Chains A and B, each alone.
Chain A
């Protein structure tokens, strides 16, 4: 069978299996087992198990469960509420302040948890009712939550960044650090857009807000309340940047920081810790099982010769590399509207990898933009995960309203990606500085 048929049939079957609602790891295993039986025969079964074993013992992937644990501890201990109150006091009394609060909070929460769904669900439950109650525009309020949540996968600690780094063989530390400036840049862009919208249409935010005016002492107190969280960020990012710890080690020290923070706020208990560790291990197991299967799928693709042949075709095509870049970004943007980010990522990365090498784009820059791109899938209709999380948190808001809320921020993120494509230093500056 020609390589393009092998590749097409493999991918179409995989996507079809995804769509049936079968667990993603099962879909991968079906394709792998069928592929191995047809292409390699029974003697290759040991290879499948050894591949799963090798992936399962890859130390760099240990960062995934540890970052999940970090987020679980912070969420379950209730430390996030302290964070919410402190940032609320610091934002000030600008008109449209709750929009700023929403974006700032989701950016910081994303930095601490790395999970867009968790951020969307939490703010949908806690902040959205407050914003609506105070007369803020529902659509724009939801939009700010969706937009901020979609930054979680690029701002470290990011689980998706670790997975991309591992599969694409890019420095995980560089990829994690690379997300800092783009994350802040996009958060700034979102805030600016909201303030401009409020200025142009004052009905989007109430004139006067209830609540006490916070004096300087109160603000200093609120800033002090954030210090334990900066300790966690230091334990993760600081130790990587100082060269003290590897990403996996920094994830472990981050967990230690989260436990200390919970203890500082007197919210540390054996039960909370036990539940956090159990849930984190469960979630990590589910993700890592898919990864173990996906790596074998990548190896199988390479074995069929499809990856090498596709690379040859692409590199011999007379197409401008920027056109290729655009196409490589357009494909996941469209597919992520329908397919889960993780599943898509695991299919696309092994195919993109050799093409990317041939096109000679900076891998950190490219994969960071790719991450941002697939993250948009979580806030793009019709199957954006974060949208469903917000909908679950706010059942009285219609799905149509949530869909409409996202488009402004999808557009802004795409604009931000264009800026980052034109000025790669926004992405590569920090990783190069650290190196």
Chain B
């Protein structure tokens, strides 16, 4: 159990790091475009990296946050059946958890295969200043595998696997909800 707890805490810590990375990426996106507008219209010098960096940061913002969104039960869902037939709620949540694990693991596996291809073929982005594609595509695998683990942890009724967050402690009240 000690090992399981340790792995879960490591997973939580990585998710917190992803949260920080996603937030930082979003703030940087805003800052970069403000900088671009100022340099282009007030200084007459357009940058050749702002658009590319903005796009790269966008994919980080999206996928770095996915594990945290799953941990906090923030994914958008339509709870129509849950509301109409409350007695089905537990069963549907359990099935959703299993499906969540299966689909996210599968998506992570597909993405990981693509990551390996990016590394082997040394693929770079089609941008003014090309970067290794793996730097961005790895976040997709991170997002899906992190989400899959939270779906899995949500299925196990043990205190040791209960998700925690240090970076967003207020969110702990919804932690574990699928």
Verify if A220 is at the interface (C-beta below 8 Å from B). no
Q: Which of A237-262 contact B (CB under 8 A)?
A: 239, 244-245, 248-249, 251-253, 255-256
| Cβ of A281 under 8 Å from chain B | yes
The contact of B59 among A24, A57, A287, A342, by CB within 8 Å, is A57
Contact A277 B26 (CB under 8 A): yes
Q: For residues 70 through 100 of chain B, which have their beta carbon under 8 Å from a beta carbon of chain A?
A: 72, 74-82, 89, 92-93, 95-96, 99-100
- Cβ of B153 within 8 Å of any chain A Cβ, yes or no, is no
Known: A29-B103, A249-B36. A281 touches B78 (CB 8 A): no
Contacting pair A292 B62 (CB below 8 A): yes
A289 touching B114, Cβ below 8 Å = no
Which of A2-10, A45-53, A95-103, A425-433 contacts its partner? A45-53
* Max chain B C-beta neighbours (<10 A), residue from A48, A52, A290: A52
Contact A49 to B110, CB < 8 A, known contacts A21-B93, A62-B58: yes
Kindly list chain A residues whose C-beta atoms are within 8 Å of the C-beta of B64.
285
* Residues in A whose Cβ lies below 8 Å from that of B92: 20-21
Within 381-419 of A, Cβ neighbours of B (below 8 Å) are at: 383
Interface of B is mostly: helix
B37 touches A244 (CB 8 A): yes
Given A57-B58, A57-B59, A61-B58, also A33-B75 (CB < 8 A): no
Is B37 touching A253 in the complex (CB atoms < 8 A)?
Answer: yes
- Inter-chain contacts of B107 with A (CB < 8 A): 29, 33, 48
- Cα(A253)–Cα(B81), bound, Å: 42
Chain B residues whose CB sits within 8 angstroms of the CB of A29 once the complex forms: 103-104, 107
By the criterion CB–CB under 8 Å, are B66 and A20 in contact?
A: no
The minimal Cβ–Cβ distance linking A297 to chain B, given in whole angstroms, is 14
Secondary structure dominating the interface of A:
helix
B26–A65 CB distance below 8 A = yes
Q: In the assembled complex, which residues on chain A have CB atoms less than 8 Å from the CB atom of B34? A: 252-253, 255-256
Question: What residue of chain A has the Cβ atom nearest to residue B112's Cβ?
Answer: A49
Q: Which residues of A contact B59 (CB under 8 A)?
A: 53, 56-57
Q: Is A280 an interface residue (CB 8 A)?
A: yes
Report A260-315 residues with CB < 8 Å from chain B CB.
274, 277-278, 280-290, 292
Q: How long is the Cα–Cα vector from A277 to B29 in the complex, in angstroms?
A: 11
Cβ-defined contact, A340 with B76, below 8 A:
yes
Contact with A290, one of B31, B54, B56, B76 (Cβ below 8 angstroms): B76
Residues 135-162 of chain B: 1 if any A CB is under 8 Å from the residue's CB, otherwise 0? 0110010010000000000000000000
Return chain A residues, CB-CB under 8 Å to B130: none
Check if B111 is an interface residue, CB within 8 A of chain A.
yes
* Of listed B33, B63, B107, residue having the most chain A CB within 10 A: B33
Check: A316 CB closer than 8 A to any chain B CB. Answer: no
Which B residues touch A53, using CB under 8 A? 59, 114, 133, 136-137, 140
What's the Cα separation between A53 and B77 when bound, in Å?
23
Contacts of A328 in B (CB 8 A): none
A24–B75 CB distance below 8 A: yes
B110–A255 CB distance below 8 A:
no
From A18, A33, A46, A339, give the contact of B114 (CB < 8 A).
A46
Nearest CB of B to A69, in Å: 6
Q: Is B65's CB within 8 Å of the partner chain A? A: yes
A21 touching B96 by the CB < 8 A rule? yes
A22 within 8 A of B: yes
Knowing A23-B76, A56-B63, A383-B80, say if A65 contacts B29 (CB, 8 Å): yes
Contact of A285 among B54, B55, B62, B99 (CB under 8 A): B62
Contact B30 A20 (CB under 8 A): no
B30 contacts A281, CB within 8 Å? no
In the complex, which residue of chain B has the Cβ closest to the Cβ of A56? B59
In the assembly, what is the distance between CA of A416 and CA of B104, in Å?
Answer: 44
Residues 50-77 of A at the B interface (beta carbon under 8 Å): 50, 52-53, 56-59, 61-62, 65-66, 69
B67's nearest neighbour on chain A, judged by CB, is: A285
Chain B proximity of A263: nearest CB distance (Å): 15
Does A351 sit at the interface, judged by CB under 8 A? no
Is B26 touching A18 in the complex (CB atoms < 8 A)?
no
Contact at A284–B33, with CB atoms within 8 Å?
A: no
Q: B33 to A249, Cβ gap below 8 A?
A: yes
Sample 11 A-B pairs with CB under 8 A, ordered by A number: A26-B75, A45-B110, A46-B113, A49-B114, A53-B59, A59-B55, A59-B58, A62-B58, A285-B22, A289-B143, A383-B80
**Besides A33-B107, A284-B26, A285-B66, 12 other A-B contacts (C-beta < 8 A):** A18-B78, A20-B95, A21-B92, A22-B96, A24-B75, A53-B114, A56-B63, A57-B58, A57-B136, A244-B41, A285-B65, A285-B69
Residues of A within 8 A of B (CB): 18-26, 29-30, 33, 45-46, 48-50, 52-53, 56-59, 61-62, 65-66, 69, 239, 244-245, 248-249, 251-253, 255-256, 274, 277-278, 280-290, 292, 338-340, 342-343, 383
Chain B interfacial positions (CB closer than 8 Å to A): 19, 22-23, 25-27, 29-34, 36-37, 41, 51, 54-56, 58-59, 61-66, 68-69, 72, 74-82, 89, 92-93, 95-96, 99-100, 103-104, 106-107, 110-111, 113-114, 117, 133, 136-137, 140, 143, 168
Q: Which 7 A-B pairs have the closest CB atoms?
A: A252-B33, A285-B65, A23-B75, A56-B59, A49-B114, A57-B55, A45-B110
